[in-house]
Structure 1
Amino acid sequence: MTARPRLVGGFIWGLAGVMLIALLWEGYKFFGPADGLSIGELRVLPRTTDLAMPHLWDMIVRLGEPVTRADDALPLWAVVGLAAVTTLGIAAAGWLVGVVVGVGFALLMQRWRLAEFGLLPWIVISQTVPLIAFAPVVKSWGSRVEIGSFEWQDWMSVALIASYLAFFPITVGALKGLQSPDRIHVELFETYASGYWSTLKRLRFPAAVPYLLPALRLGAANAVIGAVVAEVSTGLQGGIGRLLIQFAGQASGDPAKAWGPIFGAIVLGLVAAGSVALLSVILKDYRRTEETA
């Protein structure tokens, strides 16, 4: 299968998935009970009232309306778009830090087996720390950082949280890829007296590409999640996370408005992962293993 039919097929399946979700949403809203379904005190199905589940077309129409009643108010889609761009920039900075840290850890663990035994369990455990509690701590620590004229900014704390989530899949994917060459190929390079860096450049890095590309996409999505959660926890203004909290508080009077930032966060994650997917075009010559697996 060539690249173009595969791209078209992926788009069609993605569109079909969106349509299926829309049909399920409207179908449940039409047939589901107005008060939802509860078992004891546990609610297992949501309410279907307009306050809890607005119609999809109401959400779409609301995106084109002014965000407030002020004469100079921007439409909701523009406010969400500006906030999404802010969060995307912070998430991108966190993703870059995550790439550097993740690949660095992978190189270290591939080079020395003892480092893998000592570091990998702690890297896995690190992902169990709840971000809601961790983000304010990072902001507090960052506010005390002063190096000469350098002053820590609040957005840097958010970017650090984003990198915290992004580096884990990148570390695991890069390590798996760097360890993927067959022993016979490694021994062939040893026969040619290739040094560590030559083997890394000509054998291990090309072999790691099919493993690294999905890890980078997952890391980008994680960076967006981390940035949004950190914005909520730290109270950073201007990002999509803050809009989620702000508009959620207005949901009782304008339920469709509260879904605007949610749509923005979804699109933000897709844009982040899709942007990283462009690397697969640049590195297409190294994707033979991924296509034949």
Structure 2
Amino acid sequence: MQAEVLVEPSLRAPEGRAWPRDLLKRVGLTLVVLGALWAFWEGYRALWMATGWTRPFVVDNLTMPPAADIVSRLWEPLAVGQPPLIRDLLDKSAFTMREALAGFILGALIGFAIGVVLHHSRLLRRGFLPYVVASQTVPILAIAPMVVIWLGGKGLPVWMPVAVIAAYLTFFPVTINTIRGLDAAEPRALELMRSYAASSWDVLWKVKFPASLPYVFAALKISATASVVGAIIGELPSSIQDGLGGAILNFNQYYSLDPAALWATNLVAAALGIAFFGAVVLAERLVVRAAPENVA
């Protein structure tokens, strides 16, 4: 026992020193990728403008503004005497984030609940799952106005219909992967629980749910970015000007005068989606590492 106690800290020490190095590598790789994207953007512009190629589209300062102009536009004011564009976009991002987060949580809960029900009933799965799949074939732009009309006059907060639209895009991946994850539980573990006369509830939460975590988190990564997209799209028919959807719509109307503003807004929207994705990745590392060894 003493030998084990003495060896264990020495084994953990390199792991403790490894995470800062791993973080630096990830940051360095991110900067390299961003630099490569910047170089590709500028190289593409320079080549197409120098040769006059028009396929797949004409390249000029209107269709592809310089990357430096897009980034610098974030720090320029919307108009004389107003704060920088980045401050306004951050405020709008916070509003859209609330809608997307509410939709993400709502959609994840609904998707997980549907997955559990369909996992336990083969009859419901055969009869109901095709309609779950068919729900995703309807364009979200066709559903969004109907959701706004249905919920707009119910006394709910103005952002609630948008959250429901975000939930609509979120629940499907969670439903499918929940079913797949629950079905993937170790048969020997299920037999052991049956030998102990465990209830269906105990089997679900002590065996099947831990086994489904990798599948569920894979779906949540997809749903995280989809919730941001759903929130932005849902703001358009809702006439909400406080979010990124309203900013995109406004800057789209004046694109010919200020194309860099729309591209800058797209950058902020992409950053919001990446932040949602990163939060799910962090939660996955914390939760799955704490799961049983055969699951993690």
Q: Which of residues 206, 211, 218 in structure 1 aligns to 2:215?
A: 211
Change (3 A) 1:249 1:102: same
| Separation in structure 2 between the aligned mates of residue 36 and residue 239 of structure 1, nearest angstrom | 38
Change (3 A) 1:9 1:118: farther
Structure 2: runs of 5+ lacking an equivalent: 1-13
| Separation in structure 2 between the aligned mates of residue 231 and residue 63 of structure 1, nearest angstrom | 22
The Cα shift of 1:36 comes to 6.7
The Cα shift of 1:290 comes to 7.4
For normalisation by structure 1, the TM-score amounts to 0.88
Change (3 A) 1:54 1:210: same
| Separation in structure 2 between the aligned mates of residue 30 and residue 37 of structure 1, nearest angstrom | 11
Whichever residue aligns with residue 215 of structure 2, its letter is: Y
Deviations 1:6-56 (A, max 9, x none): 555444443333222211110010011479755xxxxx4232211111111
Deviating more after overlay: 16-25 vs 246-255: 16-25
Q: Does 1:165 align with 2:165?
A: no
| Separation in structure 1 between the aligned mates of residue 253 and residue 286 of structure 2, nearest angstrom | 44
Deviating more after overlay: 280-289 vs 49-58: 280-289
Change (3 A) 1:101 1:36: farther
For normalisation by structure 2, the TM-score amounts to 0.87
| Separation in structure 1 between the aligned mates of residue 260 and residue 275 of structure 2, nearest angstrom | 23
Deviations 1:56-84 (A, max 9, x none): 11111111111112x2x110011111111
Q: Does 1:183 align with 2:187?
A: yes
Find the counterpart in structure 2 of residue 29 from structure 1.
45
Change (3 A) 1:247 1:7: same
**Residues 37-48 of structure 1 mapped to structure 2, 5 A cutoff:** 37=53, 44-48=55-59
The Cα shift of 1:287 comes to 7.8
Q: Which of residues 192, 197, 201 in structure 1 aligns to 2:201?
A: 197
Find the counterpart in structure 2 of residue 56 from structure 1.
67
Aligned length: 279
Deviating more after overlay: 110-119 vs 266-275: 110-119
**Higher helix residue share:** 2
Whichever residue aligns with residue 189 of structure 2, its letter is: H
Which has more radius of gyration?
2
Q: Which of residues 244, 269, 278 in structure 2 aligns to 1:274?
A: 278
Change (3 A) 1:36 1:226: farther
Structure 1: runs of 5+ lacking an equivalent: 39-43, 146-150
Find the counterpart in structure 1 of residue 264 from structure 2.
260
